[in-house]
Structure 1
Amino acid sequence: MFSFKCNTLINAQLAGSLQSLTVTRPDIAFATNVICQHMHAPTTYDHQLLKRLLRYIKGTLHYGLPLSKGELKLTTYSDADWAADMDERKFVSGFCTYLGSNLILWSVKKQATVARSSTEAEYRALAAATSDVLWLRRLMADFHVPRSQATSIFCDNISTLTLAHNPVFHARTKHIEIDHHFISDRIRHNTIDVSHISSLDQPADILTKPLSATRFSSLRDKLTIC
């Protein structure tokens, strides 16, 4: 019993350390998020996942995020998974924001409530991304960085884009009306510009779902991790 409690404590400490590491390693953000959700009562499978992630980190210790000079233009990519959580069926939201070619902000977060459709889940992810974009724009204003253009936000769900641009509601979307007004107001004021992107080109996929090795490596490159 003592050995089991000791291993559980070590696992929790390692998971906490991994959370700190995601500050500079967005490629492990999704895996760390999944592992941390089960640290209150870890199983053997959770321990195996933790060891696998540690092996990946050991093999990529030299990886990091480069910083380079360039245009001070914000670009954001927003995404959500399709109820991959088998326990609660809650969607995971993810977004990443670039300043020029530099990745400066990313987020992985399980949504608070169960969404009724992929459109709703993607829409709530878009609302979360928009909130952080507004914060970044205000921060840039404090540094007197010119912001003449709307910030581009890319989403791979066409229904979500339609909902963002169309103020007409029906019975299936009444419960997300508040988020809609928040996003559509920013579109009307030219603060953000929401556009479609192919799922194959969506870098935020790496923040919301498990991927094959090839797909993971491709999206890791898009996050500029090298």
Structure 2
Amino acid sequence: MVYMKQPKGFEDSLHPHHVCHLRKAIYGLHQAPRQWYTTFSNYLLKLVFQHSKSDPSLLTLCTGTSKIFLLVYVDGILVTGNDEAAITVFLNKLHNTFALKHLGDANHFLGIKIQKHQDTYFLSQYTYASSIIQQSKLTHCNSAANPSCTKLPTDVPIDPNLDDPSLYRKLTGALQYLTITRPDIAYAVNNLSQHMHDPQPIHLHLLKKLLRYIKGTSHFGLPISKSDLCLRTYSDADWASNPVTRKSTSGYCSFLGNTLVSWVVKKQSTVSRSSTESEYRALAAATADTIWLKRLLADFHIDHNHYVELHCDNTSAIALANNPVFHARTKHIEIDYRFLRENLNNNHIRLLPIKTVDQLVDLLMKPLSTPRFKMLRDKLTIIPDPFVCGGY
């Protein structure tokens, strides 16, 4: 049973000292997660933890050579550090204050399966992906090698299992969470999400193909391997890719050593008048994400003082960024222009040209042929579960 004080403004005048007996679980209250986070974080602050300046869900404790990092998401808590004895003492303090359950080494967190082998981790969402396939009633369908179509069919057959618009919205919303460990489906999910208000038969056809692709690759995920701690970023844009609004699509991804740590595919908020402008806006967005990653590394006490290599395949955008003269024709993108120039001058980033054939971000922004899609998927380190395939 759960009890709580009478809410302010709704006290019973006849029984002002009575408490309320909750008939619903505490999670039924809208303010419950916020109150829990406030209570828990205030307790950690008393233990000399510090809030991360980059991520409000990350708290750090550094005392001498001992470092503890804590990640909290509602009632899910992940603790790590370099001193096992200090972590044990900290966990004992938590158990004495809160009713927590210690689940041992991390193997599942927020639906993400975490597998460890020596110095390598593997993140996947096999169970979550399988549940989506079951909801769509496609457990016995044939798998597809590509999540997108380079050429849309003229005559689309209607699938009775997916002809409900509410099911389309439910599955598409669920697929958005799957992109946490599956950037290879980011473009397809982004495209489907833009038609949730009024899905047409062609969108239902694309959803089914994406689900068939997930059916055959549900055991795919992202490896985290031990390597150098140098950031490098790839940025690209698909100019006027939306046939209705003619807005461009931005895409960028960042690697920390050999590990893919960040990726974004997003439709730009304004219409670009040239491919150079759309590429420049994507560069500015990638730069902002890169600066955030450097600040996040600083919270882990990792100094990344040298510049970050930012790869772009548009020579005009690179020339514009390196040109110190501000032209009137770039006045409408002045903020992005000055932001990128400032980070270039401060040696936070360094723009490097890259061939279009080597541009990794193409997988995040446009439908590709199956051979090229698989090649870029391998370069983005999206691989099958190595434990299923016989180990590393």
- Fold shared per TM-score above 0.5: yes
Q: Which residue of 2 aligns with 1:179?
A: 336
Select which of 1, 24, 41 maps to 2:198. 41
Q: Which residue of 1 aligns with 2:178?
A: 21
Per-residue deviation, 1:172: 2.2
Q: Which residue of 1 aligns with 2:283?
A: 126
One-letter code of the match for 2:252?
A: F
Q: More strand per residue: 1 or 2?
A: 2
Q: Which residue of 2 aligns with 1:158?
A: 315
Instruction: Check 1:168–1:10 CA distance in 2 against 1; reply closer, same or farther (3 A cut).
Output: same
1:78 is the counterpart of 2:216: no
Q: Which residue of 2 aligns with 1:98?
A: 255
Q: Which residue of 2 aligns with 1:197?
A: 354
Q: Which residue of 2 aligns with 1:209?
A: 366
**Quick one: distance in 1 between partners of 2:262 and 2:248?**
20
**Quick one: distance in 2 between partners of 1:99 and 1:74?**
5
1:144 is the counterpart of 2:268: no
Instruction: Check 1:5–1:197 CA distance in 2 against 1; reply closer, same or farther (3 A cut).
Output: closer
Q: More helix per residue: 1 or 2?
A: 1
Runs of 4+ in 1 over 2 A off after TM superposition: 3-6, 169-172
The structure with the larger Rg is: 2
Per-residue deviation, 1:5: 11
Q: Which residue of 2 aligns with 1:188?
A: 345
Instruction: Say if 2:192 and 2:203, in contact at 8 Å, map to a contact too.
Output: yes
Deviation string for 1:80-113 (max 9, x for gaps)?
0122211111100000000000000000100001
**Quick one: distance in 2 between partners of 1:142 and 1:67?**
19
TM-score by length of 2: 0.56
**Quick one: distance in 1 between partners of 2:164 and 2:229?**
46
TM-score by length of 1: 0.96
Q: Secondary structure at the match of 2:164?
A: helix
Q: Which residue of 2 aligns with 1:56?
A: 213
One-letter code of the match for 1:128?
A: A
Q: Which has the higher contact order (CA 8 A, sep 6+)?
A: 1
Question: How large is the RMSD of aligned CA atoms in angstroms?
Answer: 1.5
**Quick one: distance in 2 between partners of 1:200 and 1:6?**
38
Which stretch shows the higher mean deviation, 151-160 or 171-180? 171-180
Instruction: Say if 2:163 and 2:204, in contact at 8 Å, map to a contact too.
Output: no
- Matched residue count: 224
Instruction: Check 1:34–1:5 CA distance in 2 against 1; reply closer, same or farther (3 A cut).
Output: closer
One-letter code of the match for 1:108?
A: V
Which stretch shows the higher mean deviation, 137-146 or 37-46? 137-146
Per-residue deviation, 1:4: 11
Per-residue deviation, 1:193: 0.7
Instruction: Check 1:5–1:58 CA distance in 2 against 1; reply closer, same or farther (3 A cut).
Output: closer
Per-residue deviation, 1:167: 2.1
Unaligned runs of 5+ in 2: 1-159, 384-392
Per-residue deviation, 1:208: 1.1
Unaligned runs of 5+ in 1: none
